[in-house]
Amino acid sequence: MRLAQTKNMHVRNLIRKAYEVITPYEGVASVEDSLLKSSFLVVMEKGKFFGVLTPSDILEHPHRLVIDCLRDKPHVDYEFKTEPVLRIMKENRTSVLPVFKGDELIGVVTQDDITDYLVEYRKDLQQEVAERTAEQTRAIEKLEQEIMKRERAEAEAKARQEQLIQADKMVSLGTLVSGVAHEINNPNNFVILNAPLLSRIYKDIIPLLDNYYDEKGDFMLGNFQYSKVREKVADLLEGIYEGSQRIKRIVEGLRDFAREDPADLSGSMNINSVVEGAVTLLENLINKSTSNFSLDLDENIPTVKGSFQRLEQVVINLLQNSCQALPDRGRGIHLSTAYDESTNSAVITLRDEGVGIEPENIKHITDPFFTTKRDYGGTGLGLSVSSGVIRDHGGTLNFISTPGEGTTAVVRVPCEPKEMVCDSNVRKPAFCGD
């Protein structure tokens, strides 16, 4: 702490020990000049102290000798503090007082010195206050930063913990799903194989049953009259077959979702071929859904590393969603590819003029099993699988949607690093062959 001084300090620290001394019997005229210069003179003779002479002392009456001018001024003790000394000065209308230690004169103290000290003290005090305020402000700022840092760390830790819990849940869900998918798949295979067989058998049985009907008249089959169910049975068997196909698709979706084997991502491909492949596969659905489909492929996109089949599956899933979102054939779907040089990535943009996604749903659309199409057989796995595939490729999948106007899906996948050009006119990089 710098502030060693106090407002009310001992005068011993302010004593002047060097001063001009005159004798009491000098003529006033001879000391006038030095008195005006130094503002006081100490009057002594042979070690005896007579008093302190100030300009006002000689102005009061016309005198000849110094001794006649001396007024009786009190002495102050060197242990006195500044405040009582100033009071004594005021009471005695003088600006200088002698200071004693016991019987010994040790100097004088002036009003100017005390005032200077107090002014200095005040300045110091102000500076001290300013420094302390700045110090406190700095400490508060530091504390605020600490609090913010801690809050951020806590939020990050919480988010990480939630991610871990989520990841853990997903692993359990994946295990459960793949188990269920396997269990459903086996019995469903019987249905898939046997339903067409039963259809064929029934087709061959019909003429026999017709003969029987012609001979014996109508008869009952499972509580139904033959004449009534004759046409229905084929539809029932067809329904069983279609149902089993739907179960198969759902099981495939579940398996994609729970797939544990890492995909082979070492392939190198042109992203346009991936998009074209998906469009070809979905040609029928696209034609059925819209009369306004456009495809715009950028020919200058570097190759992408990854799995052709999985990336194609992503485009298929997105295209299917767009087709399913269109309320009539007049609404369009626009699919395009582009190259983003700044991030060296291939960009697939799919814009549809469908029903759009409600704001409260958009954050859930990539959650497994989230679907608004449950009544039409949606499993809610398409985007969950797709976002996993894109993540595995080091890319991103984002959606922008306005309900009633449409949805835009944007896929970004990193391109392979650009090849070095081995031109004979250019200095060759170390790894270029001759």
Ligand X SMILES: Nc1ncnc2c1ncn2[C@@H]1O[C@H](COP(=O)(O)OP(=O)(O)OP(=O)(O)O)[C@@H](O)[C@H]1O
Residues in the site for Mg ion, rule: CB under 5 A? 321, 382
Residues 6+ apart with CB under 8 A from 79: 10, 12
Residue closest to ligand X, measured at CB? 382
Per partner kind, with CB cut-offs from 5 to 8 A, the member of Mg ion, ligand X, none near residue 354 is ligand X
Helices (H), 108-261: 111-216, 226-229, 232-258
- Closest separation between CB of residue 320 and Mg ion, Å? 5
According to DSSP, the β-strands at 406-414 and 96-101 are unpaired
- 263 DSSP 8-state letter: P
Choose between 82 and 289: whose C-beta lies nearer to ligand X: 289
Per partner kind, with CB cut-offs from 5 to 8 A, the member of Mg ion, ligand X, none near residue 289 is none
> Which of residues 289, 313, 345, 379 is near ligand X by CB under 6 A?
379
Choose between 73 and 351: whose C-beta lies nearer to Mg ion: 351
What is the rounded CA–CA span in Å between residue 203 and residue 44?
A: 149
- 377 DSSP 8-state letter: T
Helices (H), 290-399: 308-325, 359-362, 382-392
The closest of 250, 285, 227 to 368, measured between CA atoms, is 250
3-state secondary structure (DSSP) of residue 93:
coil
Q: Which residue has the tokens 């991610």?
A: 163
What is the rounded CA–CA span in Å between residue 100 and residue 74?
A: 10
Q: Does 117 contact ligand X by CB under 6 A?
A: no
Sites for ligand X among residues 245-274 (CB under 6 A): 253
> Which of residues 11, 258, 286, 381 is near ligand X by CB under 6 A?
381
User: What is the x/- site pattern for ligand X, positions 393-412, by CB under 6 A?
Assistant: --------------x-----
Per partner kind, with CB cut-offs from 5 to 8 A, the member of ligand X, Mg ion, none near residue 64 is none
Q: Specify whether the CB–CB gap between 309 and 271 falls below 8 A.
A: no
Per partner kind, with CB cut-offs from 5 to 8 A, the member of Mg ion, ligand X, none near residue 380 is ligand X
Choose between 108 and 350: whose C-beta lies nearer to ligand X: 350
Residues 6+ apart with CB under 8 A from 297: 272, 275, 276, 336, 337
Sites for ligand X among residues 155-174 (CB under 6 A): none
User: What is the x/- site pattern for ligand X, positions 336-375, by CB under 6 A?
Assistant: ----------------x-xxxx---x---x----xxxx--
- Closest separation between CB of residue 372 and Mg ion, Å? 10
Q: Does 313 contact ligand X by CB under 6 A?
A: no
Choose between 67 and 410: whose C-beta lies nearer to Mg ion: 410
Choose between 302 and 354: whose C-beta lies nearer to ligand X: 354
Q: Does 335 contact ligand X by CB under 6 A?
A: no
Expressed in angstroms, the distance from the first to the final Cα of the chain is: 76
Q: Give the residues across from 415 on adjacent strands.
A: 304
Q: Specify whether the CB–CB gap between 288 and 327 falls below 8 A.
A: no
User: Total residues at the site for ligand X (CB under 6 A)?
Assistant: 24
Q: Does 202 contact ligand X by CB under 6 A?
A: no
What is the rounded CA–CA span in Å between residue 407 and residue 402?
A: 6
Where along the sequence are the contacts to ligand X (CB under 6 A)? 253, 317, 321-322, 325, 352, 354-357, 361, 365, 370-373, 378-384, 407
